[in-house]
Amino acid sequence: MPSPRPRQLDSPLTARILKAVSRVDAVAYRATDGVVTGRLRWHRLFPKGESVCLLTTRGRKSGRRRTVPLLFLPDGDRVVFVASQGGLPRHPMWFRNILDDPIVVVQTGRLLRRMRARVATDDERDGLWPRLVGFHPGFADYQSWTDRTIPVVICDPA
């Protein structure tokens, strides 16, 4: 049974705080090659410490590079992301950016890789979703909180 969506997640203040924290996390990640902020440990939501990397996209309107820290699932030489945005009704900006320009840079620890992002096919998503939920059970809650099908993004070496 999915948990109910916490009301505070829909607050504009929460969105501003998360954006600021993401910026600080990205700076700390880059400065330490992921030693700081490379594993997300946050209360009961992330008790094991999930792996975090940096995803850099090109802004579809501004053309500027945009970097966000994201949970990721390594899959061989690929990297898999979930465009959940905490179960909000709209896709995250980074996802909209990759639809416009799929060439991205992924930093995992010290490793910087130029990759090509794509939306997983329905079959790929069906195969990856149980692994993703096993990695981070919150993804199942996020999916229950929104009417949109949360996209799974696969980044392949470019």
pLDDT tens across 111-138, in order? 999 999 999 999 999 999 999 998 888 8
Q: How confident is the model at residue 26 (pLDDT cuts 50, 70, 90)?
A: confident
Q: How far apart are CA 8 and CA 5, in angstroms?
A: 9
> How many CB atoms within 10 Å of residue 135?
19
DSSP string, 22-83: HHHHHHHHHHHTTTTTSEEEETTTEEEEEEEEEEEEE-TTT--EEEEEEE-EEETTEEEEE-
Q: What is the pLDDT of residues 28-84, one digit of tens each?
A: 888 887 766 655 544 455 555 578 899 999 999 999 999 999 999 999 999 999 999
Q: How far apart are CA 91 and CA 82, in angstroms?
A: 10
Q: How confident is the model at residue 153 (pLDDT cuts 50, 70, 90)?
A: very high
Query: Over the range 65-75, which residues count as b (16 or more CB within 10 Å of their CB) and which as e?
Result: eebbbbbbbee
Q: What is the pLDDT of residues 92-116, one digit of tens each?
A: 999 999 999 999 999 998 899 999 9
Q: Are 38 and 29 in contact (CB under 8 A)?
A: yes
Q: How far apart are CA 94 and CA 59, in angstroms?
A: 8
Structural domains in the chain, sorted by start: 7-157 (2.30.110.10)
Q: Are 86 and 136 in contact (CB under 8 A)?
A: no
Q: Are 127 and 141 in contact (CB under 8 A)?
A: no
